[in-house]
Each structure stands twice: as structure tokens, then as C-alpha cells.
Structure 1
């Protein structure tokens, strides 16, 4: 199987998980995703990652270990975005 592009990884996540914001960077071997979803509310980091893995399903089974994630709720994302304006 060819290495997925960041765009493909993004599409996979978007298909399986309703996201407010979704960005994926990567070089085909390692990916970094910023995922903002209301689904994450009330869940710890591990549970959030499991939600994303479920969304990806079998498509990324081989690559999943190469995916780093920042998982945020819309409220956390708003805080993070707001904080960036103060620097």
C-alpha cells in the first residue's frame, strides 16, 4: 500500500469523525494532526485518540503508529486560539 498523503489522512479522519477543525501535516511517513471535535468533550487524551483510531479504521492500521495527534474540544481550541493572540 502506498503511503497516504496528509490530505488523504485528513479525509479519512473527516469521514469517520465530525470535526470543527482538522489539519494534518506530514511527509508520508510521519503525520501530525490537529483535531478539534465536540466528540472529545468529557474524554481523556487516550479516549480521544481511540475515537480517532476508530475513525481511521483499517485504512491506517499500518501507519497509525506514525500519527501524532493534538486532540481538542471546540472550547479548548477557542482557548488555545485566544491565547495565541496575547503573545
Structure 2
């Protein structure tokens, strides 16, 4: 299970990918920056992993790109199966 976590955890960290809107949203007090949310999330997830005998390693780096539509091919296929579109779908770009 630890080897599977090592494969998927960096993708989960991609949720915290910074965007152009981070600063604007933070200054408007709409939401905190992603860099501030990640430690809170990791603190909440760590005990769950620990209870399962797993550990997130600090050396794992986030896989970014998903928040701007750049996904690995396998994820594009999975998303297409969930959402009913293909990566080449022109409606997806908008």
C-alpha cells in the first residue's frame, strides 16, 4: 500500500496548484492561497494515513498541471469516462 500511496499522493497534492487567481482571491478575502491550505490538509490526512500504517513523505513533490487542463493521458481517459467528453472535445476548452 505504501508504494501505491507514493504513486497517487503527489497527484492529490496537485489540488493545491497555484493559479493566477490566488493572490486576487486572497487579497479580496474570498479564500486563502493554496500554499496556506496544503499544510492544513496534510495535517488532517496524516492521522488517517498513520492509522492505515502509511506515511506521506516530505520528499514527494506535487504533480501540477491539472488545474490548467494539462493531465496525463491516463487521467484524461478517466475524466472522459466520468464526464462524457474526450480530450479533443472543443467544448472542453471553454
What is the TM-score with the length of structure 2 in the denominator? 0.32
- Larger strand percent: 1
Q: Which structure has the larger Rg? A: 2
Larger RCO: Structure 1 or Structure 2 (Cα < 8 Å, ≥ 6 residues apart)? 2
1 or 2, which has the higher helix percentage? Answer: 2
